[in-house]
Amino acid sequence: MDYISDFFGFMKKATTSVQTVDAIRERLKAAGFMELEMNESWMLNGSEKYYLTPYPSMLVGFTVGSGKFPIRSVKMIAAHTDNPGFRIKPNPEVNSEGMLTLNVERYGGPILNTWFDRPLSIAGRIAVRSDEVLKPRVIHLDFKRPILIIPNLAIHMNREVNKGIEIKVQKEMQPLLTQLIEDEIKDKYLLKLVAKEAGVRCEDILDMDLNVYCYEEGMLVGSNEEFISCPRIDDLSMVYTAMEALVGSKHEHGINMVVFMDNEEIGSMTRQGADSVILSNVLERIRMGTEKTQNTEQISIHQAMNFFVISADCAHGLHPNYSEKSDITNKPVMNKGMAIKISCNRSYASEVDTIAAFQQLCDRAGVKYQKFVNHSDQPGGTTLGPLISKYMPVHVVDVGVPMLAMHSSRELMGKQDFLDSIGIFRTFFQLQE
């Protein structure tokens, strides 16, 4: 399989967290996974494949082995579906001499100047009037064409721009949508555009949750095409490789799982984020579902004899122009192996035993690995690992492909690291231990 081309195709669909889950659902359905509903009773059979979407931007997929006592062994890969960018505010139209821009708010921590002068589009979901007061109809929407741009100010009017200028989101990051023709009504222009795209009446749209995304496609770069340049590599590269590993793996024992959660970029403190009880609830439902069909003994799934979690989120690679920003002895280089992320302050969940286990896993897969520790004077971010271990006493290791330009509108990773991550994750799911 040409994973590079397939990844680029996946990324054209995975434009926001909601559209990402839709793209994953499409892939799992094609691979024979059966959908589960949270409001139904589950009867889980051995050798079967399942998925569920507790919320529109979160997905859990898993396969059940054919052997007895499946919950005695659980292997999970966790990643997040969101990425930094911009959300369109209500009543967003701003008219300046017929040039119509949109009022947006920042989501997470994007590198602002990378969003200038790029083709942008809009995706997300809208809520439409229905007969049930508490259950409006929700429509997922993606314009799938470049309808926005944030133009830079000419250097002649901003002479100090190359010396570093603070960017004000409220003023300077309003994307240009259109130039109004004479007598064209500017009020609710976006609403009318959305209604036309969704095939509904303007008056039936009650609310909109729409995001701006970089419309550019992924591509290979470098003299030997050794790098992947693409929007949303953090963290959809790990979402894709985990998904492909689950689809392509076979196992006799235990449960293999992928968990894709939302809102990591803003702290995960939402119902669909890792800092919630939803994952623990889903695991308990899986335990109950296997009990009904396999007569397994009554133990908590958290007591599984072998419950191992790989928290997969991209890592900072060595930047050739800023090598001083990396740790002096632990500085992962792109295409030299996946990075194991380590922090004594527990911003990563890796422990000595889980680090060693992942090293052995890489050896089994026949791929290289590296270790990442933040520069002592440069604190880094956090990830899903510590939050998962906060709610579940399980073994967790934090890893990720080394990358550059994290949180840019286009990011960069090594092609070989990307391919190796599929091999590592597939080997993980195929372990019979």
Same domain, 203 and 280: no
Q: What are phi and psi of 197, to 5 degrees?
A: -65, -40
Distance between CA atoms of residues 406 and 394, nearest Å: 29
In this predicted structure, what is the pLDDT of residue 393? Answer: 87
Same domain, 375 and 262: yes
Tell me which DSSP letter residue 161 carries. G
pLDDT by residue (tens digit) across 142-159? 999 999 999 999 999 999
Last residue of a domain, one of 214, 244, 262: 214
Is the per-residue pLDDT at 225 higher than 60?
A: yes
- Using alpha carbons only, what angle is made at residue 364 by residues 362 and 370, rounded to the nearest 5 degrees? 15
| Structure-token pair, residue 210 | 């729409």
Work out the pLDDT band at 66, boundaries 50, 70, 90.
confident
In this predicted structure, what is the pLDDT of residue 290? Answer: 83
Same domain, 260 and 408: yes
Q: Which residues contact 328 (CB under 8 A, 6 or more apart)?
A: none
Q: What are phi and psi of 162, to 5 degrees?
A: -80, 0
Q: H or E segment at 356?
A: helix 352-365
Contact between residue 124 and residue 16 where contact means Cβ atoms under 8 Å apart: yes
Same domain, 35 and 180: no
Distance between CA atoms of residues 252 and 431, nearest Å: 9
| Structure-token pair, residue 275 | 């800092």
Note every long-range contact of 202-207, with CB atoms under 8 Å and residues 24 or more positions apart, other chains counting: 203/129, 204/128, 204/129, 205/126, 205/127, 205/128, 205/129, 206/127, 206/128, 206/129, 206/136, 207/90, 207/126, 207/127
CATH of the domain at 129: 2.30.250.10
**One-letter amino acid of 303:** Q
Same domain, 275 and 407: yes
Tell me which DSSP letter residue 432 carries. -
Is the per-residue pLDDT at 379 higher than 90?
A: no
Domain extent at residue 177:
85-214
Domain-embedded: residue 254:
yes
Work out the pLDDT band at 297, boundaries 50, 70, 90.
low
pTM: 0.96
Q: H or E segment at 141?
A: strand 137-142
Same domain, 61 and 180: no
Q: What are phi and psi of 137, to 5 degrees?
A: -80, 130
Is the per-residue pLDDT at 223 higher than 70?
A: yes
How many separate domains does the chain show? 2
Distance between CA atoms of residues 387 and 389, nearest Å: 5
In this predicted structure, what is the pLDDT of residue 12? Answer: 98
Is the per-residue pLDDT at 301 higher than 80?
A: no
Domain-embedded: residue 222:
no
Of 215, 216, 207, 214, nearest in space to 92 by CA: 207
Q: Which residues pair with 340 in a beta bridge?
A: 371, 399
Coil/strand/helix, residue 234? helix
Return the top range by mean pLDDT from 243-257, 265-279, 293-307.
265-279
Distance between CA atoms of residues 37 and 23, nearest Å: 18
Of 230, 105, 84, 231, nearest in space to 175 by CA: 105
CATH of the domain at 238: 3.40.630.10
Distance between CA atoms of residues 253 and 71, nearest Å: 9
**One-letter amino acid of 317:** G
Same domain, 22 and 77: yes
Last residue of a domain, one of 188, 214, 240: 214
